[in-house]
Amino acid sequence: MAGSLSDISGKPLWLLAELTYRCPLQCPYCSNPLDIARYQQELGTEDWLRVLREARELGAMQLGFSGGEPLVRRDLETLVAEARRLGYYSNLITSGVGMDAERVARFKEAGLDHIQISFQASDEELNNFLGGTASFRHKLEMARAVKAQGYPMVLNIVLHRRNIDQIEDIIRMTIELEADYVELASTQYYGWSRVNVDALLPTRAQLARAEAIAHDYQARMKDRMKIIYVVPDYFENRPKACMNGWGAVFLTIAPDGSALPCHAASSLPGLSFPNVRDHSVREIWYESDAFNHFRGFDWMPEPCRSCPEKTRDFGGCRCQAYMLTGDATATDPVCDKSPHHGALLADVARIESLSDADAAARPLVFRNMRNSRALAAGDEPSPSPANT
Amino acid sequence: MSAFEPESVPTLKPMFRFQWEPAQDCHVLLYPEGMVRLSGSAGEILKRVDGERSVSAIIAELKAAFAGADLDADVIAFLEQARENGWITV
């Protein structure tokens, strides 16, 4: 949906406000950083209100309230109301846990534009297992409450080896819930999902089947519901245009106030990310070393530097390049021009060769504060969800 | 898809917000996690899509605003495209 952005780069059009990393769910593919336990000092309400004003002055139009679980923040209604006053289109990206019909109505009154609810699966048992908490029935109830209030509703289901074979049931569930948009988003492998990649990466056969079903429903539902199906980029030959370019349109503010060009950027070494407690959003966006570091094309080594496609994909994802090659300036190994592409293919083949039983037997590292601390300390993470 | 009746009334679908963006110097359509930047003429047409004005009223107003320009076909083509994009119902 970001396809229309590339011609208006230069301004932070998209502000992602990660209000907290606290979350009642523990999904093992969470896109939050592994070191969530470090983010105890959350920004206060006044700081967030200032960030919203400053980013809007720079041209931000889309605002995502995200997390963790943004509903954990009791000042969310205040932030939503200010977002509306400032003229943002505001999106609440939530698990649905922490909401009731009354709060859905309060958000509407405050001017929230859209709610996106995640499901982990279409059957209760798997949904609750993957989320590490009994949330399925509540999610159904909240999806109905969101529609009853007249919001546009997006349902987001992250796909991976454990649930992708359910795709038809998942789509049927979203039709029944009258979603306006459905994002069938394959797991991208960063942070928690990278730790769990052996258990989560689907096989090519699974993907081919899922894609055919998704395309069938896309055609069938054309005028009623928009279905977006995203394949895992490990199976592509060209990298994604990550964030539409570094420091081009996206600005993420993490719960502690650090400003990032994408929500995974804190994993990159050698960069010092500025904090909104110390700097204005304008200074951060235009002047900080971090936001200028991979801006444009001058930082690129070969094969990106002389590649005619660099203006299309910007060399792919810096976080993925660092994770898979140890060099954040390298070409994203998803690209078949990367000297590391063969190693990625070999790793995908290794995972694919795991039998279903083997893959299912891999313990899942659930995303929670206990495992975050264990990973930071070099200890063994627990294979079962924490009690919540 | 049938052509529009002159008296039919186009309406912006509720999931879209149409607004002027000073920082972009243009009208935009905002929707869940996305945005469209509109050309000057698209902005002038959508400004008048309010669920009350009919297609013929919109065309008449635009003619008055733009010195009687012959724009019927362009307006119809844009509204058809907007319906095809899922922005409006007619």
Count CA atoms within 13 Å of residue B44 on its CB side.
Answer: 15
Mean pLDDT of chain A: 94
A7 with B19: Cβ contact below 8 A: no
CA-based nearest distance B26→chain A, Å = 11
Count of residues for chain A?
388
Whether residue B3 is predicted with pLDDT greater than 90 in this model: the reply is no
pLDDT at A4: 40
* Amino acid of residue A221: M
pLDDT truncated to tens, each residue of chain A (388 aa)?
A: 333 444 445 899 999 999 999 999 999 999 999 999 999 899 999 999 999 999 999 999 999 999 999 999 999 999 999 999 999 999 999 999 999 999 999 999 999 999 999 999 999 999 999 999 999 999 999 999 999 999 999 999 999 999 999 999 999 999 999 999 999 999 999 999 999 999 999 999 999 999 999 999 999 998 889 999 998 899 999 999 999 999 999 999 999 999 999 999 998 999 999 999 999 999 999 999 999 999 999 999 999 999 999 999 999 999 999 999 999 999 999 999 999 999 999 999 999 999 988 888 888 999 999 999 999 999 999 888 887 5
User: What tokens does A201 get?
Assistant: 């990466």
Whether A15 and A251 have beta carbons less than 8 Å apart is answered as yes
Question: Residue B2 — very low, low, confident or very high, per pLDDT cuts 50/70/90?
Answer: low
pLDDT at A359 (0 to 100): 87
Residue A171 CA neighbour count, 13 Å, CB half: 24
Q: A272 to chain B, minimum CA–CA distance in Å? A: 28
Residue of B nearest to A8 (CA): B24
Nearest chain A residue to B18 by CA: give it.
A89
Residues in Cβ contact with A101 at an 8 Å cutoff, skipping those fewer than 6 apart? A141, A145, A148
If we measure between CA atoms, which residue out of A137, A203, A133 comes closest to residue A360? A203
Name the residue in chain A with its Cα closest to that of B25. A59
Please give the Cα distance from A17 to A54 (Å, whole number).
Answer: 13
Shortest alpha-carbon distance between residue B13 and chain A (Å): 10
Question: How do residues A87-118 score in pLDDT, each as one tens digit?
Answer: 999 999 999 999 999 999 999 999 999 999 99
The reported pLDDT for the residue numbered B1 is: 47
- Confirm if A238 and A4 have CB atoms less than 8 A apart: no
Sign (positive or negative) of CA dihedral A172, A226, A90, B90: negative
Residue B30 has pLDDT above 70, yes or no: yes
Rg, Å, chain A Cα set? 20
**Are B35 and A226 within 8 A, CB to CB?**
no
Q: Determine how many CB atoms are found less than 10 A away from the CB of residue A360.
A: 12
Phi, psi torsion values for A96, nearest 5 degrees:
90, -15
3-state helix, strand, coil in chain A (%, to 5): 40, 10, 45
Tokens of A371: 């495992």
The answer to whether the Cβ–Cβ distance between A226 and B28 falls below 8 Å is no
* A139 in Cβ contact with A117 (< 8 Å): yes
The answer to whether A329 and A302 are in contact (CB under 8 A) is no
User: Cα(A88)–Cα(B17) distance, rounded to whole angstroms?
Assistant: 10
Helices (H) and strands (E) in chain A, counts: 16, 9
Query: Which residues of B sit within 8 Å Cβ distance of A?
Result: 14-15, 17, 19, 21, 23-24, 28, 30-37, 86
Q: 């990649």: which residue's tokens?
A: A197
pLDDT at A2: 35
Query: CB of A313 within 8 A of CB of A238?
Result: yes
Q: Confirm if B35 and B7 have CB atoms less than 8 A apart.
A: no
Q: In sequence order, what are the beta bridge partners of A275?
A: A258
Please tell me the distance from the alpha carbon of residue A152 to that of residue A195, in angstroms, as a whole number: 34
Q: How many Å apart are CA A233 and CA A334, to the nearest integer?
A: 7
Q: How many CB atoms lie within 10 A of CB A208?
A: 12
CB–CB of B23 and A11 under 8 A? Answer: yes
To the nearest 10 degrees (0 to 180), the angle between helices A101-110 and A76-86 is: 30
B35, B36, B85, best to mutate vs chain A, most A CBs in 10 Å? B35
Instruction: Name A11's Cβ contacts closer than 8 Å, sequence gap at least 6.
Output: A58, A59, A60, A249, B23, B24
CA nearest B26 in A: which residue?
A8
Cα A47–A49–A55 angle (5° rounding)?
100
As a whole number, the mean pLDDT across chain B is: 91
Q: How far is A229 from chain B (nearest CA, A)?
A: 15
Percentages (nearest 5) of helix, strand, coil residues in chain B:
35, 20, 45
Longest Cα–Cα distance of chain A, Å, equals: 56
Verify whether the Cβ–Cβ distance B86 to A223 is below 8 Å.
Answer: yes
DSSP 8-state assignment for residue B4: P
* Percent above pLDDT 90 for chain A: 91
- What residues contact A30, with CB distance under 8 A and at least 6 apart? A23, A191, A192, A193, A367
| ipTM for the complex shown | 0.88
Chain A residue with minimal CA distance to B13?
Answer: A152
Q: Which residue has the tokens 């245009």?
A: A241
Supply the pLDDT for residue A361: 87
Smallest Cα distance from A294 to chain B, Å: 24
Judged against a pLDDT cut of 80, whether residue B14 lies above it is answered with: yes
